[in-house]
A = this chain, B = another copy of it.
Amino acid sequence: MLQDYQLLRIPGPTPIPPSVQQAMMKPMTGHREQDTKDLLKRVQPRLKKVFGTDEDVVIIAGSGTSGLEAAVVNTVAAGDEVLVIVTGSFGERFTEICKAYHLHVHTLHYEWGKALIPEEVASVLAANPSIKAVFATYCETSTGVINPIEELAATIKQSSEALVIIDGVSCVGAVETKLDEWGIDICVTGSQKALMLPPGLCFIAASKKAWNIIETNQQPRFYLDLRKYHHTSLEFSTPFTPALSLLYGLEQSLSLLELEGLSQVYRRHQMMKQMTRAAFKSLGIPLLTTDMFASPTVTAIIPDGDEPDALRKVLKQDFGIVLAGGQNKLKGKIFRIGHMGYCTPADILQIISCIEIGLFKIGTIQETGFGVMAAQQAYLQGESI
Q: Give A contacts to B, CB under 8 Å.
A: 6, 8, 10, 12-16, 21, 24-25, 27-31, 33, 61-66, 69, 78, 96-97, 100-102, 190, 192, 198-200, 220-225, 239-246, 322, 324
Contact = CB atoms under 8 A, between A and B. Distances in A.
A192 to B, nearest CB: 6
A32 B201 CA distance: 19
A245 B20 CA distance: 12
B61 A198 contact: no
19 contacts: A6-B27, A10-B30, A12-B241, A13-B241, A14-B28, A24-B24, A24-B245, A25-B25, A61-B200, A63-B241, A63-B242, A64-B241, A65-B223, A97-B222, A100-B221, A192-B244, A198-B243, A198-B245, A198-B246
Determine the main DSSP class of A at the interface with B.
loop
Contacts of A12: 241
A8 B21 contact: no
A128 B241 CA distance: 35
A256 to B, nearest CB: 16
Contacts of A100: 220-222, 225
B28 A240 contact: no
Given A190-B241, A240-B66, A31 B199 contact: yes
A27 to B, nearest CB: 6
4 A-B pairs closest in CB distance = A200-B243, A198-B245, A63-B240, A13-B28
A15 B27 CA distance: 7
Contacts of A192: 28, 241, 244
A245 B198 CA distance: 6
Contacts of A322: 29-30, 33
Given A28-B198, A63-B223, A200-B246, 12 more contacts: A8-B30, A13-B30, A24-B245, A29-B322, A30-B324, A31-B199, A61-B61, A61-B62, A63-B241, A65-B240, A192-B241, A223-B224
A310 B14 CA distance: 46
Contacts of A245: 24, 198, 200, 245-246
Contacts of A225: 100
A118 to B, nearest CB: 28
A28 B24 CA distance: 14
A382 to B, nearest CB: 28
A231 to B, nearest CB: 14
B31 A8 contact: no
A371 to B, nearest CB: 23
A188 B8 CA distance: 33
Nearest to A16: B28
Contact of A8 (B28, B97, B221): B28
B33 A223 contact: no
Nearest to A323: B30
Contacts of A200: 61, 200, 243-246
B222 A96 contact: yes
A78 B16 contact: no
A250 to B, nearest CB: 12
A199 B64 contact: no
Contact of A64 (B15, B27, B101, B240): B240
A30 to B, nearest CB: 5
Contacts of A246: 198, 200, 243, 245
B243 A199 contact: yes
A270 to B, nearest CB: 24
A26 B332 CA distance: 29
